[in-house]
Chain A
């Protein structure tokens, strides 16, 4: 087996996924596409295992620039592994779907994310960074509604902008350092700031986050699973690689962890609720990157790893709900556990992982970040993260499970989700429990060796209290009808700035420009008419210059002109 795998040594797993995606796009037969969707990740996983030694592979010498397309180290291999795993789980989950566009796009998207993670230089990173944008947009466009088309365009514009900023920042950095290598960057230069913004745009930094709750709820059911997995986690990887230990990231991460709470509570679209919960989790990871140090970076990596899986599970659950009921609005759902009990079970497992319940994967990952903030003496950050944990993570998970599956019975009696969807959810749910119970398996693949025991009496006890307390508050709010979710409302977020304010400003600007243009046209037209009329009056057959002048008048003019010539001649230098 090892010998068989050795031929894959040094081959980037990304190519398996991208090639399978291209073939899937070319294939008109859905059976073949589904086989490719399964075989692509399996091939990628084999390549991941085959290249055991860390190092740089796939070097392309282009003369002045050397591209490193496959840099395998302890940081990149964690992200790559979870990206490959989730692409396989998604392939299983999507077996029921017959959509040529999304089948291929999901694979190429996964492959480009893996390629970006393995990029050893900025140009390779840029190539795969942009490919993630181009490959993921069809997951939104393929819904086909005008709303999805517009959301897809907004999503694509922001993703491409991030790529352009990345290229610009990389070029600035290369001009300063003479190197295109993708390593620690820091914020000490303008190039570093531009690159931080490029990564932050994809990571959902505050005020740059709006594309996440805008686009994710508008994708297909399968599309939102894939979208939740790759782009933002890739950005976290880039931050961990380039900006580990930047203390500004602690503040940014804390804002990301805390502000979504209000949107989690009030959003009626449950996929949007999850999108805000995702921003909260990204905030935890950004804080960890900002804290730096081996424990914090391990925490960021562990959270990225388990977060990809449990958020995918939650989006899978809502994808199944969307498939069967046609909606994921909290005000239109309720009581689905009666007709979808198996899906409900997976939702509960996913929710317990999101909440960080002991014995689930979220617990063993989140506790690493909390401990890191504490050990590095960021106690205020620790305290705020605990608040964010209670306020956002737990409420979001409780809300999705409650409003979709329990809550007020709306009389929706639907079929259970397809078995292939169940299988995909079961794989993700298994990993949620397996990694929570068998945490050394997770800790063993993290970038740095560590001796850390998550299951200490104090931490289990504290987390249990936190969970129970939040559940109690959530239950009381529901019981006394204090939960602010009574009807379908749109809660404005920063996307209002470009969807309404920006749009209105552009329209107003265009209208004002048109008015100005019209006014200038009128003034110019009047001036030209005036001049034309004067010239006509002067030169037309009836004009002033066409008149017959009396000889006396002509003599006078001749004398004046002669006098002018004499004067000019007199004063001219010899």
Chain B
């Protein structure tokens, strides 16, 4: 079962004001805003870490930098995982005989 595909119709009235959200420009603006907020956050913490913004003494500093890198590494390592252990989408279905050889999904 697949839904009808007609990009020009069927937009919900509540979604019409937000129709620009899917544009590339909107995405770029969002990214810039996020980047500014992240940089500002780190800068603020670095400047006034003695004023109560620092977290735990043992993990002083903008410790969120490391998870930020971890998220990036996780996403990029995903490529390695795909290369290493990915199979076709119907891998198990074929093995079980639900899909015959040479037959498309």
Contact = CB atoms under 8 A, between A and B. Distances in A.
B21 to A, nearest CB: 7
A374 B2 contact: no
Contact of B56 (A325, A374, A500): A374
Contacts of A387: 66-67, 70
A458 B55 CA distance: 5
A53 interface: no
A338 interface: yes
Given A261-B74, A473-B68, A492-B85, A339 B34 contact: no
A479 B28 contact: yes
B47 interface: no
A489 B15 contact: no
Contact of B92 (A391, A470, A479, A490): A490
- Interface secondary structure of A, over-half rule: helix
Contact of A466 (B45, B54, B64, B89): B64
Nearest to B53: A461
Contacts of A441: none
B31 A475 contact: yes
Interface string A237-277: 00000000000000000000000011101101000000000
B103 interface: no
Interface in B34-90: 34-35, 37-38, 41-42, 45, 52-56, 58-59, 62-68, 70-72, 74-79, 81-82, 85-90
Contacts of B92: 147, 490, 499-500
A150 interface: yes
Contacts of A459: 55
A472 interface: yes
Given A341-B15, A462-B64, A391 B95 contact: no
Contacts of A340: 12
Interface in A452-470: 457-459, 461-462, 464-466, 468-470
Nearest to A478: B27
A341 B86 CA distance: 33
A9 to B, nearest CB: 46
Contact of B91 (A411, A414, A490): A490
A394 interface: yes
Contacts of A263: 81
Nearest to A263: B81
Contacts of A488: 88-89, 105
Nearest to B18: A337
B3 A413 contact: yes
Contact of A411 (B7, B28, B38): B7
Interface stretch (A226-234, A378-386, A516-524): A378-386
Nearest to B77: A262
A211 to B, nearest CB: 14
Interface string A73-116: 00000000000000000000000000000000000000000000
B101 interface: no
Contacts of A57: none
A326 B22 CA distance: 22
A382 B58 CA distance: 11
A325 B3 CA distance: 5
A547 interface: no
Question: Looking at chain B, what size class is its interface with the partner chain?
Answer: 35 or more
B67 A414 contact: no
Given A266-B81, A374-B56, A337 B88 contact: no
A326 B5 CA distance: 13
Nearest to A151: B92
Interface string B1-31: 1111111011110110011011000011011
A474 interface: yes
A130 interface: no
Contacts of B53: 457-458, 461
A326 B3 contact: yes
B78 A262 contact: yes
- The listed residue with most A CB atoms (<10 A of its CB), out of B35, B92, B105, is B92
A265 B81 CA distance: 10
A32 interface: no
Interface of A: 146-147, 150, 261-263, 265-266, 268, 324-327, 332, 335, 337-342, 344, 374, 379, 382-383, 386-387, 389-392, 394-395, 406-407, 409-414, 416, 457-459, 461-462, 464-466, 468-479, 482-485, 487-492, 499-500, 503
Interface of B: 1-7, 9-12, 14-15, 18-19, 21-22, 27-28, 30-31, 34-35, 37-38, 41-42, 45, 52-56, 58-59, 62-68, 70-72, 74-79, 81-82, 85-93, 95-96, 98, 105
Given A488-B105, A489-B88, 8 more contacts: A325-B2, A337-B15, A412-B4, A412-B5, A458-B53, A490-B88, A492-B87, A500-B95
